[in-house]
Structure 1
Amino acid sequence: MNPRRKQRLMAFSAVILVVGGAIGLMLYALGQNIDLFYTPTELVEGKDGVKPQVGQRLRIGGMVVPGSVKRVDDSLAVSFDLMDTGPIVTVSYQGILPDLFREGQGIVATGTLTAANHIEAEEVLAKHDEEYMPPELAEAMKGIKHVKPSEAGYGNKG
């Protein structure tokens, strides 16, 4: 092999190595930032035979159990239970809840699993209208009755 051809081969190999390394680092970074979606049943019993590990970031969606919302008087700390068709999972949150948050309402929380059935949430989202529900949550929540605000006594007061 002549020196010029050898030099081109080395340059081409170096470019491929750098591009491959950059792609590998990007995929690694994306993998660290993925929040998998779970329902309370999938969280406790496992999803496709795999249970999330304590410390894992995840998203969980379900219905807020009526009577389960507990607020701390001197702070913004709140905890509540979520359910679908099976086990109940407790969510703790420090902050202001969305205006549409209420008992019997579907929500999605993003946070960290701190115990087998406890989530420390960083973000809580409430669905934005009467009929919308994320597809994953709608599939998991089949058979659970949604409590409309007017039926739960949260609607028009006066």
Structure 2
Amino acid sequence: MKFTKNIFILFSILTFVTSCDELDELTEIDITQDFSTTVNVVLEEDSEGEPVSITETSIIDLASNQDIQDNLDAIEDVQINSITYQINNYVGAEDIVVTNASLNFDTTVISVADINLLESDTNNTVYTISDSAQLNAIAAYLEDNSSITVTLTGTISSTPALFDVIISVDTTVTVDAG
């Protein structure tokens, strides 16, 4: 009899704990949004065929979503579903290439392959960052910070050149609304 009573008590405790976890999950809200920013590169001076270094920054701000802003102190998890970038609005010679490029999200450095700017813009090429370690590092940063600075660095083969780099970060933010 005592054994049956102990089993019943243990079962009751396990049921209660499991129910609490399930109730906690009911108060969690997943907010999925694609946060985009545009890095404008404007190099108007003619470098006479000489390479030029570029460094431009922009910011991705999770708090631009009102639901996230209202729950900044209740963020439980940030997941980066994908990061993409593309070249847009290119104006310059047809053979200009960006080399030694990287996209830096805070301290996470993502190396970028060489890009022919005209070809990339004309073909509407969308580049995807798929390294899970890099995506997880960016997500971990965003769990504690509502915004992150994105820095584009690289070398452009010559100028003048004007173009935009559109960066999209598809994100799911879990907040505890209860």
Q: Do both share a fold (TM > 0.5)? A: no
More strand by share: 2
- Given the two structures, how large is their TM-score scaled by the length of structure 2? 0.27
Q: Which has the higher contact order (CA 8 A, sep 6+)?
A: 2
